[in-house]
Structure 1
Amino acid sequence: MSAQPHERVDYVDPGDRVIAQGGRAAGAPAGLLRRYAATVCTDHAGRVLLYRRTASAPVYPDHYDVLVGGAVRAGEEYRAAALRELREELGWAAAPGLTEAYRLRVDDPHGACFLTVHRWRADRAPRPDPAEIAWCGFVMPLAVLTGGYTPLVPAGEAAVRRLFPL
């Protein structure tokens, strides 16, 4: 879901401990980080869900990505945020078997953040929100890296390399 000016988020210290809360649009206070949750979805054949962001996306417009997700809201856990984003962006109201794959600190266009990546094997077709997703489909992981899907969001490319060693 696109950032709302009134949306509140937690800001954390380098140990991922909540220190402050504030409006998402205001940006993180000095020395603190944002938190993001994302999911890499696969299908029964081991293909990964690849999507193209809309031209109006505030970050990485018209880029391809495999990470479905967004900001963790104030008081929300990473897993709950990942489930909310799957519902908002792809119409999946539930994701049984969703598991955390890894968490790391990354730099994104908004500054340093913690990114928690989950994995989920989809058991039904997505219903993408056209305000968020211009196109989506399941492709083989190798095709994400070599199939001409450019430009590719850097964190999504890193997730494919980490989760699907080639």
Structure 2
Amino acid sequence: MSAAEEILDIVDTADRVVGQAPRGEVYARGLRHRVAFILVEDGEGRIFVHRRTAEKLVYPSHYDMFVGGVLGTGEEYAEAALREAEEELGVSGLPQPTPLFRFLYENGDHSWWCGVYQVRCDLPVQPQASEVDWYAFVPVDELDRMLTQGAWAPDGLAAYARLRAAEH
């Protein structure tokens, strides 16, 4: 089965499942679905930052400070958070990511519920070439400076702004 054929849950504004559709249709019609975002930190507290590949359907070639992806039908946020973090980082044996918060992201044709998590990764990473063009672990102050340069995934920016606001 291709990624476009993967079946996703369609949810309402309260994050209740109201149907299912193939990923390709979900994206084409802008149907609301679920996504897991994982902020990855190394043992020194640096954050994994990457640039998405040009082939990504949503926000191609954009920088992001979260790894993650869509939840399959019936999948729980926590389950997807661990699966997506390990897949995108190219590792196995991560601890279960810690849930931080959920929020509804809406921007033009895009609408999804975001389950935001955090995990520490002390393993050597080998990010998926199909997902990640460039990556580095960067200190928070450097990440904050980087946000003024280049194109950033707006959903990641929205999640990061909420995270930073909760810290203060």
Same fold (TM over 0.5): yes
Number of the residue aligned with 2:24: 25
2:76 equivalent to 1:77: yes
Q: Please tell me whether the aligned partners of residues 50 and 65 of structure 1 are also in contact (alpha carbons under 8 angstroms).
A: yes
Structure 2 match to 1:136: 135
The RMSD of aligned alpha carbons is: 2.4
SS of match in other structure, 2:93:
coil
5 Å-filtered alignment, 1:1-166, equals: 4-27=3-26, 33-108=32-107, 110-147=109-146, 149-164=149-164, 165=167
After superposing the two structures, state which structure 1 stretch, 44-53 or 108-117, moved more.
108-117
Deviates more, 1:16-25 or 1:149-158: 149-158
Counterpart residue type for residue 106 of structure 1: Y
Query: Per the alignment, in what secondary structure is the counterpart of residue 5 of structure 2?
Result: coil
Q: Percent identity?
A: 36
In 2, Cα distance between equivalents of 1:131 and 1:31:
23
| TM-score, normalised with respect to structure 1 | 0.87
Contact 1:59–1:109 at 8 Å: present in 2 too?
no
Instruction: Give deviations 1:5-36, integer Å, cap 9, x for gaps.
Output: 210011112221212112111127x9962111
The structure whose residues are more often helix, as a share, is 2
- Secondary structure, aligned partner of 2:100: strand
Does the CA contact (< 8 Å) of 1:90 and 1:128 recur in 2?
yes
**CA separation in 2, counterparts of 1:65 and 1:13?**
26
The 4+ residue runs of structure 1 with deviation greater than 4 A are none
**By how many angstroms is 1:58 displaced?**
1.7
Q: Which runs of 5+ in 1 are unaligned?
A: none
TM-score (norm 2): 0.86
Q: Which amino acid aligns with 1:69?
A: G
Task: Give the total of aligned pairs.
Answer: 164
Question: CA offsets per residue over residues 126-154 of structure 1, 9 Å max, x none?
Answer: 11111110111110122223136421112
Distance 1:145 1:17, change over 3 A: same
